[in-house]
Amino acid sequence: MEQPSPPETAAACHEDLLEAIAIRGDRAAFAELFGHFAPRLKSYLLRLGADAATAEEVVQESMLTVWRKAASFDRRQAGAGTWIFTITRNKRIDRLRRERRPEYDPNDPALIPNRPEDADQTVWSTQIEARMRVAIDNLPPEQSDLIRRAYFEELSHREIAERSGLPLGTVKSRIRLAMQRLRERIDGLD
């Protein structure tokens, strides 16, 4: 019966296997490393919440990276197990990022710019805006202030009342009166 090897010996063995993969492209060494680490990596990923299929895929990607990058392993910086588990953790993070970042869809309506306004529509809008500014400026100051707060600052009537210290009913009646005066002035300009 084979005696379990002490952790230091197992770690050195894994480091030697990585070295054999890096130097000679040793498939037998890789098979041994894979046989040891693949089940451990899979259970690690399952504990982190991956489903079985995803865990298998990440293990495959990780071990493929181990095969390709074995030459970059440096036993002075980390043990073989630490290095391999770090690769797996990073592969899992990369996969999660890809899943959370939706693919770019060039036909998404939100990404299609609005058609530019026609020139006559732009001129008309500018004229109406100028009329509105003049009409608002000609209102009594307490009404123009309330109109600006309600429509330009987009405050509710209650927020205007709280900030101005006026009763809510007063705010509502002044805004209603101001809107009535604005309608009369704008209609009179046509």
Q: Where are the domains of the chain?
A: 7-100, 119-188
CATH 1.10.10.60 applies to domain 7-100:
no
pTM score: 0.50
Question: Of 3.40.50.620, 1.10.10.10, 2.40.50.140, 1.10.1740.10, which CATH number belongs to 119-188?
Answer: 1.10.10.10
Mean pLDDT of the chain: 86
172-181 pLDDT, tens digit each: 999 999 999 8
Start-to-end CA distance of the chain, whole Å, equals 103
| Rounded alpha-carbon distances, angstroms, from residue 55 to 93, 103, 107, 126 | 12, 22, 33, 60
Per-residue pLDDT tens for 90-140? 999 988 888 777 666 777 777 777 778 788 888 888 888 888 888 888 889
Buried b (16+ CB within 10 A) or exposed e, 124-138: eeeeeeeeeeebbee
